[in-house]
Amino acid sequence: MLWQQNVMTALRMSQMTARRMIAAAEKAEVEPGTPIGAIVNISSLAASRAQGGLLGYAIASAAVEQMTRGLALELAGKGIRVNAVSFASVMSASLQAALRENPDWRQVIETGTPLGRIAGPDELAETVQFLASDAARFVTGQVITVDGGRGLLDRVEAPAF
């Protein structure tokens, strides 16, 4: 289920979008090498941080990130950039539902996020908007993490070196 929902849907949407961009560029007789568009996929910090109970989600997230890199290479010559945004500590619908069932998680998440808060969905959307814009015209194959610094932390509090 997670594979179909997270990986295959992203792959099919990316392929369909790329085909339409290429067809539109050909119809408009756009010169080869001219930038014609950008695709932005969504991933999760789970792609790079293992956590119990999230094996399927972690594998699917990692696959989306690698798919993004592969598509970036395949589509660069067509003038299409492909990037992804990986997120954590963002107030998504699933996090809202989890917090309703487990209100004490809010403090755990905020304490475990160096910026000390949960981001609004607009902060994720603005990163996607940046990657889709001309301001990122030389960015492709990248995964930008929007997590308030959460991925920087080592969950083991005692030094192990």
pLDDT tens-digit profile of 50-88? 888 889 999 999 999 999 999 999 999 999 999 999 999
pLDDT < 50 positions in the chain: 158, 160-161
Is 57 noted as a catalytic residue in this protein? yes
Catalytic residue among 2, 42, 57, 142: 57
pTM of the model: 0.92
Please tell me the distance from the alpha carbon of residue 102 to that of residue 139, in angstroms, as a whole number.
Answer: 39
CATH 3.30.70.1520 holds for 2-151 = no
Dihedral angle over CA of 42, 43, 44, 46, nearest 10: 170
Q: What is the pLDDT of residue 158?
A: 47
- Residue whose C-alpha is closest to residue 58's, from 47, 42, 44: 47
Per-domain residue ranges of the chain: 2-151
Do the Cβ atoms of 18 and 75 come closer than 8 Å?
yes
